[in-house]
Amino acid sequence: MEHAAGIVLFNPDIKRLEENISAISPQVKDVILVDNGSKNADGISSLISRFDNITYIRNADNMGIAKALNQIVEKADELGAKWVLTLDQDTVCKPDIIEQYDRLCRRATDKVAIITSKYEDRSVKVDFGLTAPYVKESFCITSGAFNNIRCIKAVGGFDEKLFIDMVDYDICYALTRSGYKIIRMNYVGFLHEVGRSVTKRFFGKDIIIFNHSPLRKYYWARNSIYLKRKYKLGLSADKRVINRIIQTLLYETDKVSKLKSMLKGIIDGYRL
């Protein structure tokens, strides 16, 4: 079965991107790069000239992650793939990730939309609590996700109103509410990094503090409210937003700017 991989680019670190492409390129037929207006396009072009299975799509401006992911899905479908692995630009896969995913997707029912795995974060320890070979999940991050193209397109693809942040939550809500399944394998498939993350204690539990910029805080808050309204999530979404505000004020720097951004995001989320 021929598969594809897709990477969304925005001013990538060329060395890390080289690690990423070098790890996944031998495992798939096609690697699709969608560049959201990177300023280091010359460095990207020089790097990809060394690989013979790359399709490079360059957007003149930053069109957002959701738009770029839809471009990846459409191009993978056009190239004849049934499944496409989506990756962040700094994710580095294990050399057998496609082999592991392919083994499961060959046995999967037509309702399996995403296969994912455990991952190792460069900054914090992530405990998935898995004991079985694989489990059904309600959510997974976009990076390292092996997407059934037919299922992704059946729910309308990625919501481009989101631009950045919560894009993964949205596609998971859309899929699971349409009866599709997300499966996580008890296997560490890739090396990942969520911002400048640290682990803190919050009301007796370990939480990850992401230390995102005020702009990222804005989009996270805006999109959280948008998804609350879109999927009628109710108080659970409100609690999540309130907790994130408290965590930001307790543990992060540049608190005032981030708080202002999040409050603006909440207002705009009700307008979206």
The H or E element that residue 205 is part of is strand 205-209
44 lies in the same domain as 165 = yes
pLDDT, position 129? 87
For residue 216, what are the domain limits? 198-271
Residues 185 and 154: their CA atoms lie apart, in Å, by 24
Shared domain for 202 and 169, answered yes or no, is no
Number of domains in the chain: 2
Last residue of a domain, one of 141, 169, 192: 192
- Chunked in runs of 10, what are the mean pLDDT values of the chain (272 residues)? 94 96 98 97 96 97 97 98 97 97 93 96 81 95 98 98 96 98 97 71 70 93 97 93 93 94 97 92
Give the per-residue pLDDT at 255.
95
Asked if 216 and 172 sit in the same domain, the reply is no
- Report the distance separating Cα 255 and Cα 252, nearest Å: 6
pTM: 0.93
Each residue's pLDDT tens digit, 44-74: 999 999 999 999 999 999 999 999 999 999 9
Three-class secondary structure of residue 91 per DSSP? coil
20: tokens are: 């990423």
> Do 238 and 158 fall into the same domain?
no
CA 238 to chain CA mean position, Å: 22
Domain shared by 206 and 166, yes or no: no
Domain boundary residue among 171, 192, 213?
Answer: 192
Q: Are residues 33 and 68 in the same domain?
A: yes
Percent over 70 (pLDDT), the chain: 95
- What is the domain-level CATH number for residue 29? 3.90.550.10
Query: Do residue 164 and residue 35 come from a single domain?
Result: yes
202: enclosing H helix or E strand: strand 198-202
pLDDT tens-digit map of 133-154: 999 999 999 999 999 999 999 9
pLDDT of residue 197: 61
Q: What is the dihedral of CA 170, 157, 102, 30, to 10 degrees?
A: -130
CA distance 60 to 40: 13
Structure tokens at 195: 């911002």
Beta bridge partners of 188: 118
